[in-house]
């Protein structure tokens, strides 16, 4: 039936008022709302992404029982919200059975597929347009609002825009789940690890609905121990969905593991960096594969030098500045390398020597368009200003989604293959009168705006090649292929987080006063955008360490603090100068030598803060966030 357009509100105020007039009656049922009460019924998580949820080597419990140095503690992380500045919003428009959705998305191809399924449309009848995303961090995928928006637009037959309020973002978009983790480490007197146990529980939706934080992920790759036991359990709750949030699993897991490593260093009387040096593995114990490139210790070395780690006193409460205790802490950062299959790219080269590279990629402020244009220009031998990168439209060939730190390398692999296809086409076009006549792709290199023989250097510019062939444009399209390198090697990124805090003895307030992040993420493609990306993750980690917690009312399952006034993300005054360094050592197996950098910088941050708080005050806070009340309570208990 045709509805009049007046059936929908014309303003936000009308919509909010109308919503108050809707009465809902429902039959109340028992809801699962309390993580703590349901902990005894936790079930084993069958797997964590791509790996078994339970993994053992040797008898870790026996090793723990017989060890000379043991640390065995429980760590807790709360529910967190992505708190992207830009609220979730969508605009939907129908033309017959064609739907166009203007979205802010980090997975436009996924959104297109979901909308096609929901509305029973052919995939090509759905177009998702998303040129810019004002912050995503894992939250800007498909939720109920895009579907409601498209349904409303269909019903009233005109374009509809839907913007969630901040409170609605907290209530309807999934976020990071809470965890309770046990880490038990045992070592010999020299600090070499004899046991590494990492177990615990997280929450997800009822009926396996949602993400399960794989917090044991860092323990699978970071350290050598003689024995291991990793196991994850999960509790199902009827609260807001658990979903990916920057460094999902690694952010929470690294808090527990990296605090425990610091506690072990303290117990064994060994410098925490030296402890990690002694735990450096020769290969990935969980798979038995060799590492493709691993320079964690080099990251610690350059970070320690910049931070002046050697000036630190290992003894807590040894530096004081008025009411402030000053302390320093360190932690490792870790995030796996993933490259997704299925990413494609097209390149159009025009007769004036300009190129357009296109795919359905995403720009969330991390510099996707800049980095891809630069990388393609380098590959094509063109000045960066001659290459345009177009993206953000599902009508373009599919790219990787912007998640799991996969997008950049996945697209670069596709652009590499597409460049090869383009070179082949160009050589096919080169006539007998061309200096490139008869040349094979492997004989030529792209440089100086054209193709030139590696031997002898004869060749010609793209402009001349296309003119000679009488073409306005030449186009190529290819896929990045399958990430075969991931099957044979353990490919991961690493880092070292150095933090200095000041803790007020009077108020328990923690201020982060200095930060050095040193990363080993392969080749850095653009120093400026990479620095910004790393800094952003560290700032997010400082929020996780000190202020962020989405508090749930266990009677209703609702969030009590769904606003940025009460859910505290770091503001400028909370953020110290952050120095960013990298090893820059290219990964021999990754496209362009680069591994992803989007998520690693949030990992290890909360642990570095907690370890610095211990160094400042002698207080171990194992329950995030480290708010003043916890410091004051611990202080009182110790006195």
Does 541 bind ligand MOS (CB under 6 A)? Our answer is: no
CA distance 48 to 310: 38
Q: Toward ligand MOS, which CB reaches closer, 338 or 413?
A: 338
Q: Toward ligand MOS, which CB reaches closer, 335 or 567?
A: 335
Q: Which stretch binds ligand MOS (CB under 6 A): 95-103, 241-249, 270-278, 369-377?
A: 241-249
Q: Toward ligand MOS, which CB reaches closer, 140 or 379?
A: 140
CA distance 252 to 273: 21
Q: Which stretch binds ligand MOS (CB under 6 A): 133-141, 157-165, 301-309, 374-382?
A: 133-141
- For 223-319, where are the alpha helices, taking DSSP H only? 250-268, 272-278, 296-307
Q: Which stretch binds ligand MOS (CB under 6 A): 65-73, 243-251, 458-466, 499-507?
A: 243-251
Give the β-pairing of 43-44 and 126-129.
unpaired
Q: What is the DSSP letter of 173?
A: S
Does 334 bind ligand MOS (CB under 6 A)? Our answer is: no
Does 595 bind ligand MOS (CB under 6 A)? Our answer is: no
- For 126-177, where are the alpha helices, taking DSSP H only? 144-156, 166-172
CB of 165 to ligand MOS, least distance (A): 22
CA distance 195 to 495: 23
Q: Toward ligand MOS, which CB reaches closer, 140 or 514?
A: 140
Q: Which stretch binds ligand MOS (CB under 6 A): 4-12, 132-140, 374-382, 541-549?
A: 132-140
Q: How far is CA 88 from CA 104, 125, 148, 245, 404, in A?
A: 7, 23, 13, 15, 20
Does 138 bind ligand MOS (CB under 6 A)? Our answer is: yes
Contact letters for ligand MOS, residues 392-431 (x by CB under 6 A): -----------xx---------------------------
The residue from 35, 244, 324, 389 that contacts ligand MOS (CB under 6 A) is 244
Q: Toward ligand MOS, which CB reaches closer, 243 or 328?
A: 243
CB of 57 to ligand MOS, least distance (A): 29
Catalytic option among 250, 323, 599, 638: 599
With beta carbons less than 8 A apart as the criterion, state whether 275 and 264 touch: yes
- φ/ψ region of 94 (left if φ > 0, alpha if ψ in -120 to 50, else beta) reads beta
Number of residues that bind ligand MOS (CB under 6 A): 11
Nearest to 329 by CA among 611, 603, 622: 611
Does 248 bind ligand MOS (CB under 6 A)? Our answer is: yes
**DSSP E strand stretches across 480-617:** 492-504, 510-520, 552-553, 558-559, 578-582
How many alpha carbons lie under 13 Å from residue 222 in its C-beta half-sphere? 26
Query: Of residues 50-109, which lie at the interface with ligand MOS (CB under 6 A)?
Result: 106
The residue from 245, 518, 544, 610 that contacts ligand MOS (CB under 6 A) is 245
CB of 366 to ligand MOS, least distance (A): 10
Q: Which stretch binds ligand MOS (CB under 6 A): 96-104, 134-142, 487-495, 525-533?
A: 134-142
Q: Which residues does 591 contact at the CB level (< 8 Å), separation at least 6? A: 339, 409, 412, 413, 416, 480
Cα–chain center distance at 340:
14
Q: Which stretch binds ligand MOS (CB under 6 A): 36-44, 90-98, 130-138, 491-499?
A: 130-138
CB of 261 to ligand MOS, least distance (A): 24
In a 10 Å sphere around its CB, with 0-12 CB exposed, 13-18 middle and 19+ buried, how is residue 394 labelled? Answer: buried
- What crossing angle do the helices spanning 407-429 and 368-380 adopt, rounded to 10°? 30
Largest CA distance in the chain: 90
CB of 184 to ligand MOS, least distance (A): 28
Residue 311 burial (CB count, 10 A): 8
The residue from 75, 102, 137, 325 that contacts ligand MOS (CB under 6 A) is 137
Residue 599 a catalytic site member: yes
Does 367 bind ligand MOS (CB under 6 A)? Our answer is: no
Does 136 bind ligand MOS (CB under 6 A)? Our answer is: yes
CA distance 488 to 467: 45
Catalytic residues: 599
For ligand MOS, the binding residues (CB under 6 A) are 106, 136-138, 244-246, 248, 403-404, 599
């Amino acid at each position: 039936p045709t509805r009049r357009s007046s059936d929908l509100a014309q303003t936000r105020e009308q919509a909010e008022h109308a919503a108050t007039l809707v009465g809902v009656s429902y039959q109340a049922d028992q809801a699962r709302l309390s993580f703590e009460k349901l902990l005894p019924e936790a079930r084993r998580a069958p797997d964590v992404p791509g790996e078994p949820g339970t993994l053992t080597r040797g008898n870790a419990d026996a090793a723990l029982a017989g060890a000379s140095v043991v640390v065995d503690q429980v760590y807790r992380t709360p529910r967190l919200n992505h708190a992207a500045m830009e609220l979730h919003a969508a605009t939907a428009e129908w033309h017959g059975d064609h739907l166009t959705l203007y979205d802010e998305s980090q997975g436009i191809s996924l959104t297109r597929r979901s909308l096609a399924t929901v509305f029973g449309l052919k995939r090509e009848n759905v177009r998702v347009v998303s040129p810019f995303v004002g912050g995503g961090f894992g939250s800007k995928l498909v939720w109920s609002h895009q579907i409601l928006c498209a349904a409303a637009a269909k019903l009233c037959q005109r374009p509809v825009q839907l913007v969630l309020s901040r409170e609605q973002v907290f209530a309807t978009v999934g976020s990071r789940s809470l965890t309770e983790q046990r880490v038990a480490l045992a070592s010999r007197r020299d600090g070499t690890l004899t046991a590494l146990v990492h177990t615990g529980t997280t929450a997800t939706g009822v009926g396996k609905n949602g993400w399960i934080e794989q917090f044991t992920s860092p323990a699978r790759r970071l350290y050598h121990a003689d024995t291991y036991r990793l196991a994850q359990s999960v509790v199902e709750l009827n609260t807001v969905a658990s979903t990916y949030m920057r460094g999902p699993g690694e952010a929470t897991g690294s808090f527990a593991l990296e605090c425990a490593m610091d506690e072990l260093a303290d117990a064994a009387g060994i410098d925490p960096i030296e402890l990690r040096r002694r735990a450096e593995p020769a290969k990935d114990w969980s798979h038995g594969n060799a590492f493709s490139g691993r320079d964690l210790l080099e990251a610690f070395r350059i970070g320690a030098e910049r931070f002046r780690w050697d000036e630190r006193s290992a003894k807590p409460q040894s530096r004081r500045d008025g009411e402030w205790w000053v302390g320093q802490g360190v932690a490792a950062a870790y995030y796996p390398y993933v490259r997704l299959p299925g990413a494609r790219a097209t390149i159009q080269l025009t007769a004036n020597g300009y190129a357009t590279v296109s795919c359905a990629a995403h720009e969330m402020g991390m510099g996707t368009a800049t980095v891809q244009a630069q990388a393609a220009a380098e590959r094509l031998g063109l000045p960066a200003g001659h290459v345009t990168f177009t993206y953000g439209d599902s009508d373009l060939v599919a790219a990787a989604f912007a998640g799991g730190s996969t997008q950049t390398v996945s697209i670069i692999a596709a652009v590499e293959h597409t460049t090869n296809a383009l070179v082949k086409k160009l050589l096919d076009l080169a006539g007998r009168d061309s200096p490139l006549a008869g040349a094979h792709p492997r004989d030529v290199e792209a440089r100086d705006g054209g193709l030139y023989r590696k031997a002898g250097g004869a060749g010609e510019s793209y402009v001349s090649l296309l003119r000679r062939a009488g073409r306005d444009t030449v186009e190529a399209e290819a896929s990045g292929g399958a990430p075969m390198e991931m099957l044979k090697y353990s490919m991961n990124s690493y880092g070292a987080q150095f933090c200095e805090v000041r803790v007020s003895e009077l108020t328990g307030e923690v201020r982060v006063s200095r930060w050095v992040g040193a990363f080993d993420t392969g080749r850095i493609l653009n120093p400026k955008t990479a620095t910004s990306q790393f800094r952003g993750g560290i700032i997010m980690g400082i929020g996780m360490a000190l202020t962020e917690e989405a508090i749930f009312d266990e009677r209703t399952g609702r969030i009590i603090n769904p606003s940025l006034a009460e859910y505290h993300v770091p503001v400028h005054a909370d953020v110290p100068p952050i120095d960013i360094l990298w090893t820059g050592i290219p990964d021999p197996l990754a496209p362009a030598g680069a591994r992803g950098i989007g998520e690693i910088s949030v990992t290890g941050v909360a642990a570095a803060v907690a370890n610095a708080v211990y160094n400042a005050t002698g207080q171990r806070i194992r329950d995030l966030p480290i708010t003043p009340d916890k410091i004051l309570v611990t202080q009182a208990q110790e006195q």
